[in-house]
A and B are shown apart, each in its own frame.
Chain A
Amino acid sequence: MITTLLFFLFAGFAIACAGLMVYHKNPLYSAISLIGVFIALACIYMLLAAPFIAAVQVLVYAGAIMVLVIFVIMLLNLEEDKPLTRLRHLYLIGSILGLVLLAQTLFIFYAVKKSPQSAQEQADAGLTLNIGRAMFTEYLLPVEIAGVLLLMAIVGAMVLSRRLKETRLDIAQKEKRR
C-alpha cells in the first residue's frame, strides 16, 4: 500500500522532471530537472529492492556526470532566449529513436512476463554480493568489454589534452622563429 503510493510519487516526479528537462528554455533548469529524474529513478530502484543500482545511479550520474554538465553550463553562461533553429533537422532522427525506445520498452514488458524467475531470486538479485558474483562469472565478457572501452576513453582523453598542449607550444615556437 505505502510502496504503491511511494512508487506513484517518485514516478510522477520523474515524469514531471523529464518533461521540464525537455521543454525548459534555460539549459541550467534542464540540467537540474535531469538530476531530479536521476534521483527519482534511484528511489524507484530502491523500491524494486536494488539498493546497489540506486546508490550507484546517484553517485555516478547525479554526483559526477551532472556536476560536469552544470560546470560547463555555468562557465559558458548560455543565452536564455536564443532560438534553437540549429537543431530543427534533428527532430526526425529524434522521433525515430523515440519509437525504437518505445519498442524496446514494450519488448522488456514482454520478456519480463515470459521470464521463469521466481520471486525469491528477484528479491536477492539487487544485493551487492550477487551483482558482483554475476558480473565476474556469468557476465564476465561484457564487463571486460566495458572495461576496455573505458580504458580507451581515458587514454583518448589524455592523448587529446596532451596534443593540444604540444600544438600550442609548436605555434608559439613557430611564431618565435618568424
Chain B
Amino acid sequence: MEEIVKTLFPLIVYFTAIFLAFNGVLIIVAYTVLAERKILGWIQGRIGPNRVGPWGLLQPFADLLKFIFKEDIAPDKSTKFVYFLAPLVALICALMPIVVYPFGPPIKTIDWSFLPYGLGEGIRQLPLVIADFDVALLYVLSVTSVGVYGIALAGWASNSKYSLMGGLRSSAQMISYELAMGASVLGVVMMAGSLSLTKIIEAQTRYPTRWFIIPQFIGFIVFLIAAFAETNRVPFDLPEAETELVAGFHTEYSALKFALFFMAEYVNMFTVSVMCSTLFLGGWYVPGLSRIFEYGSIPYAIVSHIAFLLKIFFFLFLYIWVRGTLPRFRFDQLMSFGWKFLLPVAIGNLVFTTIMVYLGIF
C-alpha cells in the first residue's frame, strides 16, 4: 500500500496541478472574450452584451452552450481526418505551454509533515510552477510554433478557396514573425544567462533597474509586435481577414470545432501576455514587496500572484484596445514589415545587447 501511494503521489499532484491551471486559464480566457466584446462596445459607443446574467457576466457560458448544441457541419469534399485533427492541434498546442508558467514565487512556510507515509519529507517549498525545467522558454516557443499546423491544415483540409488562402497566409506570416520574435527574446536570455523562466524572473529581482523592460525596450517592442502577428490578431489578422476571405481558415468550421479554434486564439493571446510580463515586466515580481511581507510566505505569494495577473490583464487589454483602434495591414506590407524592419531591428538589438553585456554595462 505504502509503495503504491508513494509511486502514485507525484502523478496525482501533477495531474491536479495541471487540471487546476488549465481550468483557471480557460476561465480567464472565457472572460477575456466577454471583456473584448464589452470594451469594443465601449470604444465604438455601444453597450456590449448585457442580457445573460448581471452585466452580461454569464455570456461566456451561454456562448459555450450554443456552440455545443449547434449542428456540426463538415464539407462534403473535405479531407475528413485532417479536418478533424486541425482544431485539436491548434488547441492542444495553445494549452501545452501552461505547464511552464511561473504563476508566483515559491511558498516556503508550509509544513508538509502532516502528509501520511512520510510523503512530506524533504519538501522544502511549494513552487507555484508545474514544471520548471532548463529550457522552458524554448519549450514555449517550440510548442507554439507547432500550433501553426492547426491553422495551415484546417485551411487545406476544408477544400475551400477562402480557407486555403487563409491557411497559406497564416503559415507564411507565422514563419516570418517567429524569427523576429526569437531574436527579440535573445537579448533577455543573454542578460539573464538562462532559458528557464523562473531563473529569468530571479535575474530581474537582482537587476538594478528591476524589470528588463528598461534595458531591453527595443526587444520588448519587437516582441510585442511579433506576438500580435503570431496570434493572428488585428492589425495582423490576415489569415481570417473577414472583408477578403469571409472568415479565412475557419470558414468551413462550425459548432464546437469552431469554438476550439476560437479558444486556441485566446489561449495564445494569454500565453503571449504571460511571456511579455515574465520576460520584460518581472513576472510575479513586485519591487519592494519583500520589505512588507517576508519572501516565501503565503501573503507574499498571494500579492505577487495578483500582480502577475494584473500584468497579464494589462496586455490582454492592450490587445483589445489595438483591435478597436487600428486598421489591417495589406499582405505585402505585412511581409516586408516583418522581414525588412522587425528582423533587422531585433538583430541590431541583439548585437547591441551583446556589446553591452560584454562591456559589463547591462
Residues of A within 8 A of B (CB): 1-2, 28-29, 32, 35, 39, 51-52, 54-56, 58-59, 62-64, 67-68, 70-71, 74-75, 127-128
Q: A67, B171: Cβ atoms under 8 Å?
A: yes
Residues of A within 8 A of B152 (CB): 67, 70-71, 74
In the bound complex, residues from chain A placing their C-beta under 8 Å from that of B142 are 55-56, 58-59, 62-63
CA distance A142 to B82 in the complex (A): 41
A5-B141 Cα distance, complex, nearest whole Å: 27
Main secondary structure of the interface of B (DSSP, over half): helix
Within residues 256 to 290 of chain B, which ones have a CB less than 8 A from any CB in chain A? Answer: none
Q: Does B167 contact A (CB under 8 A)?
A: yes
Judge whether B195 is part of the interface by a CB distance below 8 angstroms: yes
Interface residues on B, range: 20 to 34
B168 CB within 8 Å of chain A? yes
* A52 nearest in chain B by CB position: B135
A-B contact count (CB 8 A): 79
Q: A69 CB to closest chain B CB, in angstroms?
A: 11
Q: CB-CB < 8 A to B134: which residues of A? A: 51-52, 127-128
Give Cα A1 to B134, complex, Å: 24
Q: Can you give 10 contacting A-B residue pairs, CB < 8 Å?
A: A28-B79, A28-B156, A51-B133, A58-B145, A67-B152, A67-B171, A67-B174, A70-B152, A74-B155, A128-B194
Chain B residues lying within 8 Å of A70, measured Cβ to Cβ, are 149, 152-153, 156, 171
Provide the bound-state CA to CA distance between A55 and B97, in Å.
Answer: 12
Contacting residues, chain B, for A68 (C-beta < 8 A): 175
Contact B138 A59 (CB under 8 A): yes
In the complex, chain B residues 27-86 whose Cβ is within 8 Å of any chain A Cβ: 79, 81-82, 85
Q: Say whether, besides A39-B146, A74-B152, A55 and B7 are in contact (CB < 8 Å).
A: no
Cβ–Cβ < 8 Å partners of B82 in chain A: 28-29, 32
Residues of A within 8 A of B203 (CB): none
How many angstroms between the C-alpha atoms of A29 and B133 in the bound complex?
A: 33
In the complex, per-residue mask of B144-160: 1 if CB is within 8 Å of any chain A CB, else 0: 01101100110110000
Least CB distance from A136 to B in Å reads 14
Let me know if B156 and A74 touch, CB within 8 A: yes
Q: Please tell me if the beta carbons of B135 and A67 are within 8 angstroms of each other in the complex.
A: no
Known contacts A28-B82, A35-B149, A52-B135; is A63 also within 8 Å of B168 by CB? no
Q: How far is the CA of A123 from the CA of B296 in the complex (A)?
A: 30
| Contact (Cβ within 8 A) A55 B149 | no
Residues of B within 8 A of A67 (CB): 148-149, 152, 171, 174-175
Question: In the complex, A13 Cα to B158 Cα: how many Å?
Answer: 27
Whether, in the assembled complex, B164 has its beta carbon less than 8 Å from a beta carbon of chain A, the answer is yes
How far in angstroms is the closest Cβ of chain B from A30? 12
Cβ contacts under 8 Å, B138 to chain A? 52, 55-56, 59
Distance from A95 Cβ to chain B, minimum over Cβ atoms (Å): 31
Q: How far is the CA of A65 from the CA of B120 in the complex (A)?
A: 46
| Minimum C-beta distance from A42 to chain B (A) | 8
A63–B171 touching, CB < 8 Å: no
Return the contact of B146 from the options A56, A62, A71, A127 (Cβ within 8 A): A62
Query: Is B139 close to A, CB under 8 A?
Result: yes
B240 / chain A contacts, CB cutoff of 8 Å: none
For residue B338, give the distance in angstroms from its CB to the closest CB of chain A: 15
Whether A128 lies near B135 (C-beta < 8 A) is yes
Check: B303 CB closer than 8 A to any chain A CB.
no
A71 & B171 in contact (Cβ 8 Å cutoff): yes
Q: A28-B156, A32-B153 are in contact. List 14 more A-B contacts (CB 8 A).
A: A29-B82, A32-B82, A35-B146, A35-B149, A51-B133, A58-B146, A59-B142, A63-B148, A64-B178, A67-B149, A70-B153, A74-B156, A128-B134, A128-B194
CB distance from B202 to the nearest CB of A (A): 15
Known contacts: A39-B146, A59-B138. The answer to whether A74 contacts B168 by CB under 8 A is: yes
- Which B residues are CB-close (under 8 A) to A35? 146, 149
Separation in Å of the B361 CB from the closest CB of chain A? 22
